[in-house]
Amino acid sequence: MSAQSSAPRLPVGAGGSHQAARASRKDEHLDLALRLHGQDRPNAFDDVAFMHHALAATAATQVDPSATVCGAQWAEPFYINAMTGGTRNTMRINSELAGAAAEAGVAVACGSQHIALDDPERAESFRIIRRRAPRAFILANVGPTMDPAQAVRAVEMLEANALQIHLNAAQELVMPEGDRDLRDWAQRIDAIVKAVPVPVVVKEVGFGISARTMASLSRLGASAVDVAGTGGTDFIAIENERRPDHSYSYLTGWGQSTVLCLLESLCAEPAARRPGGDSARGTERPVGQTDEHGAQLEVLASGGVRHPLDVVRALALGARAVGVSGHFLRTLSRSGPEGLRHELALWSEQVRTLMTLLGAADIAALRRTDLLVTGRTAEQARLLGVD
Ligand code: FNR
């Protein structure tokens, strides 16, 4: 699969030329994500190693990798994260992602729905996800600039189980036609959280969420954050490529890695809630922040997840579940829908195998495994005081 710029477009409604530009941006993002990030690269997950204990004490048949996210039980602790929708080409991709998700029993998110909120004729490219995955946990997706009524419509469009709000400041600022006024995002998130009938997951798009931002989001009533850190898809590189002057090349790599975000969120957890105190060794590592009502902000991880070992590393660092965009997009592009279905089944099997190797019967046990964090990530963690 590739984003064919010659692909026929869905009918264009009111505000045609603006919508057409938005639609072609959707196809360009896919095309550039595949072209610039053609393969998995080394990243901060490589700084995380498990201590191997030769007397592992569990059986593969005993392993339960299910995850509890936003009050729902997920059979698999990984999911297909937000990517696309709005054009005929992206409708096919959403259909194929959703079909594979339904078969594998994994949750799936759609890309930003702004294009369909402005032009209802484009909604079918998102609705296809619910049609192909009638029983899946589906996450709708908007940015913080949507008003509460639009966010409610986004959820209804997909009969979604949760709503993602994407924070993409770096992308907007490098995007030639992006927003330049980012002032009132927090108030808008607050209003959306109060209006929608489902849990809200606030996510980055590949630059990471700091503990300070997490604390704000907790106060705003978000149910979960997806730290979506560096190491995989880089929207500064993608938007820079769309600029005629390519003048932001130096900014590539901006942000925090997914691993560093998880380490920081571990230490943001009040010590009293950490069994065994501060040590991240041999004790369960709960992650997240507690709002004023005592509710725990759930932490999901995405950004640069390449294989089942990265999934297990992120879970051991406290993520409730692990999102994947770039790797699954490349799998679909290279191997088609059948290849993606095979990949999801392989990940499902291998997450269980790795948990068996680690002697972890469930995700809570994974958090008690012994981790070694080295290299640049260890140095950054030390500077943040979270080592
Ligand atoms: C994305 N991502 C994204 N996120 C979001 O919240 N809304 C969106 O519309 C999109 N669009 C989008 C398009 C494409 C082509 C890609 C590859 C990604 C970001 C995505 O959900 C994720 O946060 C990042 O891609 C980091 O994960 P990976 O790609 O490193 O696994």
Kindly report, residue by residue over 234-269, the tens digit of the pLDDT.
999 999 999 999 999 999 999 999 999 999 999 875
Q: For residue 293, name the pLDDT band (cuts at 50, 70, 90).
A: low
Q: For residue 19, name the pLDDT band (cuts at 50, 70, 90).
A: confident
- Residues contacting 75, CB < 8 A, separation 6+: 66, 105, 106
The pLDDT of residue 2 = 34
Ligand 1 mutation pick, 34, 172, 205, 332, max ligand atoms within 8 A of CB = 205
Q: Whose CA is nearest to atom 29 of ligand 1?
A: 326
Among residues 317, 330, 323, the alpha carbon closest in space to that of 302 is found at 323
pLDDT at 74 over 90: yes
**What mean pLDDT value characterizes the chain?**
91
- Residues contacting 215, CB < 8 A, separation 6+: 268, 289
pLDDT at 6 over 80: no
As for ligand 1, residues whose beta carbon falls within 6 Å of it are 29-30, 33, 81-84, 111-112, 141, 164, 166, 203, 205-206, 228, 232-233, 302-305, 324-327, 329
Structure tokens at 47: 């700084």
Q: Can you tell me which atom of ligand 1 is nearest the CA of 302?
A: 27
Structure tokens at 132: 């192909």
The pLDDT of residue 45 = 98
pLDDT at 377 over 50: yes
pTM of the model: 0.92
CA 125 to chain centre: 20
Q: Are 122 and 90 in contact (CB under 8 A)?
A: no
Mean pLDDT of 10-18: 53
Q: Residue 258's CB: how many other CB atoms inside 10 A? A: 34
Q: For residue 9, name the pLDDT band (cuts at 50, 70, 90).
A: very low
Q: Are 171 and 145 in contact (CB under 8 A)?
A: no
Mean pLDDT of 361-374: 97
**For residue 53, how far is its CA from the centre of ligand 1 (angstroms)?**
36
Q: For residue 16, name the pLDDT band (cuts at 50, 70, 90).
A: low
pLDDT at 300 over 80: yes
Amino acid residing at 341 = R
Q: What does the chain come to in residues?
A: 387
> What would the pLDDT profile of 194-241 be if each residue is shown by its tens digit?
999 999 999 999 999 999 999 999 999 999 999 999 999 999 999 999
Among residues 248, 265, 317, 365, the alpha carbon closest in space to that of 44 is found at 317
**For residue 303, how far is its CA from the centre of ligand 1 (angstroms)?**
8
The pLDDT of residue 268 = 77
The pLDDT of residue 1 = 34
Identify the three-state secondary structure at position 107: coil
pLDDT at 275 over 80: no
- Residues contacting 113, CB < 8 A, separation 6+: 85, 123, 126, 140, 141, 142, 154, 157
Q: For residue 282, name the pLDDT band (cuts at 50, 70, 90).
A: very low
Higher pLDDT, 283 or 148: 148
Distance CA 381, CA 373 (A): 9
Q: Residue 307's CB: how many other CB atoms inside 10 A? A: 18
pLDDT at 345 over 70: yes
Q: For residue 387, name the pLDDT band (cuts at 50, 70, 90).
A: confident
